[in-house]
Amino acid sequence: MSARPQETRLDLYPSRRGAKPCSIERQDPVVHSAHRQGAPLPPQQICDYERNGFLILEQLFDARELELLQEEAAKLRAASGQIDATLAVAEPGDSSLRSVFHVHEISPLLRRIAHDARLVDLAEYILGDRVYVHQSRLNYKPGLSGKEFYWHSDFETWHVEDGMPRMRALSVSISLVENTALNGPLMLIPGSHRRYLSCVGETPEEHFRQSLRKQEYGVPDPEALTAFADDGGITAATGPAGTVALFDCNTMHGSNGNITPYPRSNLFIVYNSVSNTVEAPFGPTEPRPEFLAERSDFEHVKAISGPIRSV
Amino acid sequence: MSARPQETRLDLYPSRRGAKPCSIERQDPVVHSAHRQGAPLPPQQICDYERNGFLILEQLFDARELELLQEEAAKLRAASGQIDATLAVAEPGDSSLRSVFHVHEISPLLRRIAHDARLVDLAEYILGDRVYVHQSRLNYKPGLSGKEFYWHSDFETWHVEDGMPRMRALSVSISLVENTALNGPLMLIPGSHRRYLSCVGETPEEHFRQSLRKQEYGVPDPEALTAFADDGGITAATGPAGTVALFDCNTMHGSNGNITPYPRSNLFIVYNSVSNTVEAPFGPTEPRPEFLAERSDFEHVKAISGPIRSV
């Protein structure tokens, strides 16, 4: 750990500093565009996103596009042995594949999806700005033995470990298989995005090597989490393959393990506003590698319209 | 391991002997009473039990009875430090309470429930015989960190490790809290009770010390399990507190972990036919202790009618 000049910066969202957890109010808008006219979503859905911190959309992509995406995910999974080992993360306790990162750089098809106007228009509207890809990954939750992802706010990690200053980013999750309530679907707590939970404990160096498998720092305290769930309930992003979940960077989410024989896999793309690019981390550790948090190429993505047929 | 004279016994359900898993047909009836007249269940529910291997019943107990049961479970949980340590089993990886066994001997109220005519009549009808309590337990799946129970047939363990000769036993699970699809409910595979999966691997001595926390022997092979689920689907025993799941001793079941803040607790009572009392184990290990498998008191339970108001 080295002393950083940046530690005199204003930190709107301090975390992992004290011995006690605390909860502070969100300092940023949820929907950053003020005008509803010309929005890529009907007003009711914009209100839902603003209130709940997420939106579940079906049939954004057509059957052929979904098929291409599924084939590509299977191909990357089969070839994961050939992928740079740092990009392929295993399940805790065994060697089965959990996630492949930076997929928009590995795969032309996934890059095309990340540039797709249907997603980019939504992200630009909600974030009120041009956007770039902060992170992308394929998550494979194997059947029979898939482990849980514990509750977390992505922003807490992105702020402390990556140096993302403000809440002006969102995630898109596209399910590659049917997500039922029983195969460990993404669960979100409506309304949790409105408060920021400052977590206890310091971050060890190279925390990401462990945290991508099983997170132990930056985890919310049980009382605050229970209060969030008591207030807002828990919504599971269930639906057929192709269901898209769009969620705010500070929405508390997680997923249970999966003993059903049916794997659960998803493509995740994180868009960040080009006015909110990462700086030095707000925590004391070295920045995480670029495959987890883009640090050099902040060129905004140029939306590509029309159906994806091949790349 | 000692050579046993019993190894010359006919073993209708061999398991943990070979290097290859195999699936054999069930050799016993599911509903052992032939007559439908005077049954404690309507004919359609008897057919459902026979076909699926389980039945979910709501409102078998009234609100006051449920309250008594919940209070008693909380009391036992709070006093688990005072309970004989062998009866209280912790979660894998930490010390939080997972199960308390032999509860019908520890608690007069739970003994009264085990003798309740509503349960005993059902068990006697389905098993076509007088019944005794083979095992009882309270399961506490804590919120936020509850671990999974992997898929298993109870009978496989009861046969190999306890010496239960035939499939003529059933479990009753009474939920003490609301079970949703997301808090790790009991999941059952309809129709799986019609075949017996012979598992691979030998059983280590005192396997139960580990297996009650996390089972590693007597687990079904992934291919057979997937085929079962593809054929029959997966049913979650969801419902309000007080929901009763009645299931055959050979029905494949399990439950996912639980990261929701809501604990999942259940009372389990296993009834066995008095014509099916345990003998020497069909596997090579010593019998498990009596708190896991009654070995001396096979006196049939005498049904007590009327609402439970106190004991």
Tens digit of each residue's pLDDT (9 = 90 or more) over A203-226 = 767 766 666 556 567 788 899 999
What average pLDDT does chain A have?
A: 90
Q: What is the reported pLDDT for A3?
A: 46
Q: What is the reported pLDDT for A213?
A: 57
Top pLDDT among A206 and A40 is at A40
Q: What is the reported pLDDT for B3?
A: 45
Q: For the domain with range A42-276, which CATH number is right: 2.60.40.10, 3.30.420.10, 1.10.10.10, 2.60.120.620?
A: 2.60.120.620
- Cα separation of B20 and A95, whole Å? 23
Nearest residue in chain B measured CA to CA from A186:
B182
| Pick among B94, B147, B148 to test the A interface (most A CBs inside 10 A) | B148
Task: Give the gap in angstroms from C-alpha B186 to the nearest C-alpha of chain A.
Answer: 10
Residue A37 makes CB contacts below 8 A (sequence gap 6+) with none
Closest CA to A185 of A247, A235, A114: A235
Q: What is the reported pLDDT for B163?
A: 97
Question: pLDDT category, A241, cuts 50, 70, 90?
Answer: very high
Give me the residue spans of the domains in chain A.
42-276
Q: Which helix (DSSP H) or strand (DSSP E) does residue A171 occupy?
A: strand A169-175
The list of chain B residues with pLDDT below 50 reads 1-3, 6
Report residue A199 as tokens: 């977590």
Are the beta carbons of A256 and B254 separated by less than 8 Å? no
What average pLDDT does chain B have?
A: 90
Task: Give the gap in angstroms from C-alpha B254 to the nearest C-alpha of chain A.
Answer: 8
Residue A52 pLDDT > 60, yes or no? Answer: yes
Residue B229: which of A148, A222, A261 has the nearest Cβ?
Answer: A261
b/e string for A189-202 if b means 16 or more Cβ within 10 A? bbbbbbbbbbbbee
* Beta partners for residue A244, in sequence order: A57, A174
CB pairs A-B closer than 8 Å: 67
Nearest residue in chain B measured CA to CA from A252:
B260
Q: What is the reported pLDDT for A93?
A: 65
Tell me how crowded residue B177 is: count the other CB atoms within 10 A of its CB. 19
Mean pLDDT calculated for residue range A193-203: 87
Helix (H, G, I), strand (E, B) or coil at A29: coil
Q: What is the reported pLDDT for A4?
A: 52
Question: Are B207 and B285 within 8 A, CB to CB?
Answer: yes
Q: What is the reported pLDDT for A91?
A: 64
Are the beta carbons of A261 and B226 separated by less than 8 Å? yes
Which residue's entry shows tokens 């799946």? B141
Task: Give the gap in angstroms from C-alpha A190 to the nearest C-alpha of chain B.
Answer: 14
Residue A260: which of B182, B234, B257 has the nearest Cβ?
Answer: B234
Residue B182: which of A144, A256, A258 has the nearest Cβ?
Answer: A256
Question: DSSP string spanning B147-185?
Answer: PPEEEE-HHHHIIIII---SS-EEEEEEESS-B-TTS--
Mean pLDDT calculated for residue range A170-195: 96
Whether A143 has its CB under 8 Å from any CB of chain B: the answer is yes
Are the beta carbons of A256 and B184 separated by less than 8 Å? yes
> pLDDT tens across A91-108, in order?
666 667 778 999 999 999
* Beta partners for residue B132, in sequence order: B272
Helix (H, G, I), strand (E, B) or coil at B47: helix
Least confident range of A4-13, A63-72, A219-228: A4-13
Nearest residue in chain B measured CA to CA from A183:
B256
Task: Give the gap in angstroms from C-alpha B57 to the nearest C-alpha of chain A.
Answer: 21
Distances (CA, A) of A218 to A161, A198, A206, B43: 10, 8, 14, 55
Task: Give the gap in angstroms from C-alpha B184 to the nearest C-alpha of chain A.
Answer: 8
Residue B151: which of A225, A254, A259 has the nearest Cβ?
Answer: A259
% of chain A beyond a pLDDT of 70: 92
Q: What is the reported pLDDT for B218?
A: 74
* Beta partners for residue B29, in sequence order: none
Task: Give the gap in angstroms from C-alpha B226 to the nearest C-alpha of chain A.
Answer: 6
> pLDDT tens across B244-299, in order?
999 999 999 999 999 999 988 899 999 999 999 999 999 988 999 999 999 999 99
Contacts of A230 in chain B (CB under 8 A): 261
Q: What is the reported pLDDT for A201?
A: 75
Residue A11 pLDDT > 80, yes or no? Answer: yes
Q: What is the CA radius of gyration of chain B?
A: 18
Contacts of A259 in chain B (CB under 8 A): 148, 150-151, 187, 254-256
Residue A249 pLDDT > 70, yes or no? Answer: yes
Q: Which helix (DSSP H) or strand (DSSP E) does residue A45 occupy?
A: helix A43-52
Are the beta carbons of A254 and B259 separated by less than 8 Å? yes
* Beta partners for residue A265, in sequence order: A140
Are the beta carbons of A187 and B182 separated by less than 8 Å? yes
**N- to C-terminal Cα distance for chain B?**
44
Q: What is the reported pLDDT for B28?
A: 97
Top pLDDT among A254 and A86 is at A254
ipTM of the predicted structure? 0.83
Handedness of CA A197, A200, A205, A211 (dihedral sign): negative
Question: Are B144 and B137 within 8 A, CB to CB?
Answer: no
Residue A151: which of B184, B256, B259 has the nearest Cβ?
Answer: B259
Are the beta carbons of B257 and A256 separated by less than 8 Å? yes
Are the beta carbons of A254 and B257 separated by less than 8 Å? no
Whether A187 has its CB under 8 Å from any CB of chain B: the answer is yes
Least confident range of A51-55, A118-122, B147-151, B193-197: B147-151
Please compute, for residue B115, the number of CA atoms within 13 A of its CA located in the half-sphere on the CB side: 18
Nearest residue in chain A measured CA to CA from B150:
A259
Contacts of A254 in chain B (CB under 8 A): 259
